[in-house]
Structure 1
């Protein structure tokens, strides 16, 4: 579901952020919708059955099925959940994005270089033009940054305090600022980003370049700074850099796009594209009927009980992604201050049985943030085992009397984890921990994050396999973080992570972080999912994977 873009500076900014993201939270379930609401939604351009194919006019249409609800399509408002990121990416290209092999693929930029890991030289593709034919220039980049860092916009998930000219604590420029010393035009197609401290190229690319949306200065300079978050122009923009532009949307039902015929990488072959927002229980039947054509590993929560049925469909190709979707359980350490109690919560649950029974083996158990999909995975870290007697021992040492009821909030749209949470609550009860599971929609869950009105809450979160540091810094970043937890050893390791690209060093540093997280348990991974994705066989040039799905969407086509 999510990839969060978290805070910079002392709390480096990471997506939804994905997301759940990313993640930076991935594959997260949608909010609960009224029965029939997704089927009843009016999606522009869909045929009577909602299937892919050609409308009466002969125009090609594709429907992408997602279960995450849309927060916004305004780049100034969005958090970094994957649905928000990708909904905007299709209109306003990021500088780069992850490719399916976890390398970086240049989108708006065609090169990013640095000689000192403080000055990053970004060159915009010479061919890049807006849909009205005017060149995309460095002025568009620098002006977009100025406005994205505005204190009047005050987007808490797009905080750029690591850059010169931006306040380290607030992440914003001064009100009324007309330029940013850390983001300057070198020439018409070149921009220099300057950080206050050394930053690895990996971090710059994955946490900033991949999440920065350049907008047309010619348009946004005519919108009052304080009105950028509410401007109606973003609901139907007529000047875009990407392959599609929004024509209509409903945050709980659909997003409709029309092709940018002047897309500088080539006009999309699919004339109309729709994100159709479904309840997770509708995904299988919608794939079967052809009502939806593509599911996303990071935006579509497919109930595990439907995996086999989807595998058996003759009209789709199925791909299981690498394990990057972490079902993370965050513990508000202000409410559960004793690490022994937090450890007991993990010892008391049989995570491997949940993977085997509910995920049907499509996942893994880890401790910490780094899964086996990452080049930094340390397989010497043995996950905490299922040991209810050890849990009881720890609780006795902590003086736990069993009178407290812990409040555990989970996403109502993620049916698989709702079931898992009930199993976990029953196992916790067996060792003397009373837990009340409360299901809420994703928007409500995210609004609670960082507060203290929960003891535990769970969300699917995609930690980028090649740079989870920014998300970790946000999640374990002190009293204002989701966990209320911080640790000097983790802080020191994160500081070093951000300044090196050496893989061996990075593996050692992430091992420090995961081992400390395993010991103190401000969060734990219930499991990591190898998510299922599906593509209708009528489509060509669609590369279903955790990353890179939309990078070359202009090449998607329908088999005649």
Structure 2
């Protein structure tokens, strides 16, 4: 009698929906069908796209098709779609646009939100291929654009980030990380400034010998800042050239270097901005010559001259127009500690960026160009071709270090402290930037002490440093993020018109549900091998303006299911599958019962 009663109870349990879903282990029937658009250029991104496809299936979202393709096919569906020419919006994937796109972006250190989510930036006018539009966001964004005060800009930025965090036109997945190899015991290195090539070398030191050798995977071949394109040549240049402003150690905002102070005001009606720069009276070039206002004016004019080949030419001309907009302040005069006035063509909330321009000694450089022409900008300093010292003059500046040797054959640069440096004392006696061929050679050089820092672009992994005494791997965010971009004109994911509830709020709940289905830590651990961080939002947490009050969306399938229900979608399991499961389980029970009878 007891056996029959047990079978009856088991049958009742088998018929309960929760048991069916749990035991069966299969996903509920799809209630939403979407398509993935995924670049085929990054294996890791393809892996997490596949993982997310599996996860969202648990809440009834089915990926009908994943288009793994190149950028040439992605652009016409997204930011290059002919909006405003033939169509008024980007449609769904089935109609030639996209539903969701897996993509990644590199941010600047400040975290500039311009041309991303505001209505006026919807393509083709900007980069808002999400087609996101929110009047509240737009109103705050207008204030943000004219927030030339740092505190005010930060406040507006945080408000904008909170709106995007809630509305999710883009769902942050991961932040990328850079893995460097360090000799243990190095001091004063700001890891984020190192990763973004803004480091302040005056704070660096190796207490063992006051010498740091930094191994890089690229040749060093550029003579000066004009025409410089190499990421690595710019690294040594940034330590040699003094600038009015530099990134601050620790906080990463802007602080005076050659300047003593900068003051700005703007005219909202005229749409113009004025900056008054007061030079530090103690600022000197590495030969002892004082930095005076005409050096600032001349340096900016050099960057605004096409023949200089400056990479900053377009930016400088855009914001300053022509040479007449930058002048020595007549009231203070052309003396050490004097002022320079800048008349900008518009209002720029990140105006400090424009005052990170390398400074040259006009009295030394201008006569050389007048005598021998612009061709001297191509002369390598300290080379046999530098017979007149023109190459060396073009890298003489007022930064914390000065160039003392350039081995062009072996790609090794040597820097020593500028004896007239006005800032905090430089701790190093020597700094070397040296090319090393290949990751294995770089790891070996770090282990044997030939170098003290191994650059992240050798792409080491944690195993290269494990169990080796005296070295360590250091992981740093690199301001790259990976996201899932949403087409906000999609009738389910964006407008919500085809959800059961039929509202934008229902679509937002679906987006929230998707975000809660993303196992960010798993992606970092298993796909990126620990070389990254779970994303909180689409702005990397290393950006100066990042709102650190935001927290990551948790991986929570139960919560995601609830959000789907609030959007009008309820999980079910197909009747056919239920019947098969019941038959299978019931047959098993009967077999056990018969077996027991036979054994008796």
TM-score (norm 1): 0.46
Could you tell me the TM-score, scaled by structure 2's length? 0.43
Q: Larger radius of gyration, structure 1 or 2?
A: 2
